[in-house]
Amino acid sequence: MSTINPKISPKVVSIFSGCGGLDYGFHTEGYDTVWANDFAEWACKSFAANFGNVIHYKDITKIDPYTDSTIPDCDVVLGGFPCQDFSIIWKQPGLNGTRGGLFRHFAEFVDAKKPKAFVAENVKGLITANGGKAIDTIIKDFESIAPGYVVKPHLYNFAEYGVPQFRERVLFVGVRIDTGFNFIHPKPSHGPNGEFPYVTAGEALEGVETVPTNNEHINIKDKTRRVLELIPEGGNFTDIPKDNPLYVKGMISHVYRRIKRDEPAKTIIAAGGGGTWGYHYPEPRPLTNRERARLQSFPDDFIFEGNITEVRRQIGNAVPPVGVQAVARRLLPLFTGDYEPIDLIPEYEKMKAMTVKQRLDYVTSQMD
């Protein structure tokens, strides 16, 4: 892994850390994760293998950031609070789900540590969960943390930031109002709206067969192989003729989805059952975990601990590191002092009066 620049090393407290995709994106820009937490044992082992023994394997509901003296002060709080209750792929209980309310623990960490900034990640479905009430509640909770945070959510497609995968995620960036730092989300660097072409799945997988770790081929049934042979490059189960004996009925587009080599891959997900692993082309087989990691923009020396299923889950749940590097870079002046402070109160009050849609549109209009 790259060496942290000792001159610019903002301290990060990371929660809902997973294997460390979000942290790695910030790490490559000079940030230093000093404390982390997750409740998935093997994800914690992967995190420790890459970042050192700073992660705590513990239920976050049992951690009190106000009284726990082992949690250091920090410059940034990072985290991707659990997304399953907001995902558009599955049912959407939203804030009423068993995991939807966990974002409040993220807010408690921000309140307890008062970082200069926080970055929270979640799925696109959060925008519509609970009829739009979920994201509105989350924004208001973040804004209300003293002394006040200017909260700017934006829907990213990480393919537009150099990730070889179409993956849409909401990033909330909050900046403490007394810093005077007016954060602006970075505009896309890749694709039709960027300076560079998309990074394709074919480019990402070039030479991957030489990587020795997490590259095991998965045994599949002969029937599954014959199903895949019916599906063209970039296709999925819908390409199988309905009168074919091998026709399968899928609920989501990920079922038997094969990569298309001249464009970014479709979203890599944590699930693997029911034909949702993600499939190679031209070879009729599931992608290896290292191939999935490449499509998630992890470097080949990133260590994943656990069996094939555990590693698959970690990769699918992760934030693509390359996708958040531009955000990490855009925040750096806040910590170096290389900016002209402004009065953020007018911006804060202006956005508080906006609807969620108005806020999203306003944030997008500011991008540069």
Active site residues: 83
Dist. CA 39–CA 15, nearest whole Å: 10
Exposed (0-12), middle (13-18) or buried (19+): which is 368, by Cβ within 10 Å? Answer: exposed
Element (H, E) at 108: helix 103-113
Q: What is the CA radius of gyration of the chain?
A: 21
Q: Which residues contact 153 (CB under 8 A, 6 or more apart)?
A: 135, 139, 170, 171, 172, 173, 356, 359, 360, 363
DSSP SS3 for 161: helix
DSSP SS3 for 258: strand
Dist. CA 20–CA 7, nearest whole Å: 23
Dist. CA 148–CA 175, nearest whole Å: 8
User: What is the full DSSP assignment across 304-360?
Assistant: --S-HHHHHHHHHHSPPHHHHHHHHHHHHHHHHT-S-----HHHHHHHHTS-HHHHH
Yes or no: say if 213 and 303 are a contact pair by the CB < 8 Å rule: yes
Q: Which residues contact 361 (CB under 8 A, 6 or more apart)?
A: none
Could you report how far apart the first and last alpha carbons of the chain are, in Å?
Answer: 30
